[in-house]
Structure 1
Amino acid sequence: MRYKFTLLVAFFLLLNGCMTQAPIKTVSEVNLKSFMGPWFVIGHIPTFIEKNAFNAIESYELNEDGTIGTTFTFNEGSLTGPIKTYHPKGFVVKGSGNALWGMQFIWPIKAQYKIVYLDQDYQNTIIARDDRDYVWIMSRQKKIDQDTLKNLVKKIEDDGYDINKIRWIEHSN
């Protein structure tokens, strides 16, 4: 009996060590037409391609086939550095209220793209991932007022991110 109890405790300790954080909740519904257009990246926990990004803008276009044409542009290394442009394609996950996408930079891999915050006027948004490795705060404007920004950072922290890893992006005037 003692042996079974020890095995049971060891199993639950092992299982607990293998558990990851709960998935981050998306917004309930996204009107894709309202979401389309340019978004200024205000702050992020960057991927390797955007670690030195300035003037970062992510633009979306709804394609006839329902996919999302994406153009990500930024200056590399400084406000006047060389312009880099990427064109990943977004694939909306059916049944997600348009809030969960797969973002494909290279076929066949689709990275998780979760719209976890979106204000009612479609002016500010947060894109996150369950792995809590990358996050993006984006706005229709180059700057966000401090109270709004504080609330967005709090949301990211509440979702389990290390907010000390956020990199703030400069934009030219």
Structure 2
Amino acid sequence: MAFALGGVLALTALGAARAARAQAPAGPANGAPLMRAALQTVAPVDLQRYAGLWYEQARLPNRFQKDCTGQVSAEYTPLPDGTVHVLNRCERTDGHVDEAIGIARPVAVTGQPGAGRLKVRFAPTWLGWLPFVWGDYWILKLDRDYQVSLVGTPDREYLWVLSRAPQLDEATLQAELDYARSLGFDTDRVVRNAQ
């Protein structure tokens, strides 16, 4: 009897929840849809042209850059085996510069040769066989001259605006952030770099 009563109560609660969802607006309070389309990457990306020094202009906050308060840069160097050497630098408040050395490898995307999808690893080489040490690096937007790049992750947790120039003009930076917002990134939380 108690089991049957519990089942009836559970079904009643489920019905009430369904009814409430049916009357709820289609998305969150800010009007964004509940379902987001899968992110698309730039294709093709010429990694030889993408190579070189990039300056971070803005990012979504993340734990591995929490101490970065000054200039942040990334330098990419293509290697003969098709991977890319990555050197990230960030200046802390005390003036010290932290460096992180990693490796990036292109990810093949069916029907999109040269797609701007890479996996990046900063863990030691001997841990490279572990899938969780590789992070997504998706090039979401790239100008024709390879001067400004918008990079993010498919879960929309990480985002970076990069440029060849140490300082990007406000209009260009805002255009990149507006585009990122249109893709579903929470640009209200973006941290802008003090260059």
When normalised by structure 2's length, the TM-score is 0.74
Out of 44, 47, 52, the residue aligned to residue 29 of structure 1 is 44
- Residue in structure 1 matched with residue 7 of structure 2 by the alignment: none
- Residue in structure 1 matched with residue 116 of structure 2 by the alignment: 99
Q: Deviations over 1:88-144 (max 9, x none)?
A: 210101245240000112232211110000000000001011111110000000111
In 2, distance between residues paired with 1:59 and 1:28?
Answer: 21
CA contact (8 A) 2:41 2:115 kept: no
Deviates more, 1:103-112 or 1:32-41: 103-112
1:37 deviation in Å?
0.3
In 1, distance between residues paired with 2:77 and 2:62?
Answer: 22
Out of 43, 47, 52, the residue aligned to residue 62 of structure 2 is 47
CA contact (8 A) 1:70 1:87 kept: yes
Aligned AA (1:74): C
Out of 68, 72, 75, the residue aligned to residue 84 of structure 2 is 68
Q: 1:20/1:81 Cα in 2 relative to 1: closer, same or farther (>3 Å)?
A: farther
User: Is it true that 1:83 corresponds to 2:97 in the alignment?
Assistant: yes
User: Is it true that 1:152 corresponds to 2:189 in the alignment?
Assistant: no
Aligned AA (1:47): N
Aligned AA (1:94): A
Contiguous gaps of at least 5 residues in structure 2: 1-10, 22-33
Q: Which has the larger radius of gyration?
A: 2
When normalised by structure 1's length, the TM-score is 0.83
1:20 deviation in Å?
6.1
Q: Secondary structure at the match of 1:28?
A: coil
- Write out the 4+ residue segments of structure 1 that deviate beyond 3 Å after TM superposition: none
CA contact (8 A) 1:31 1:98 kept: no
Number of residue pairs aligned between Structure 1 and Structure 2: 157
- Residue in structure 1 matched with residue 30 of structure 2 by the alignment: none
Aligned AA (1:118): L
CA contact (8 A) 2:89 2:100 kept: yes
Q: Deviations over 1:129-165 (max 9, x none)?
A: 1111110000000111222112101111001011111
CA RMSD of aligned residues (A): 2.1
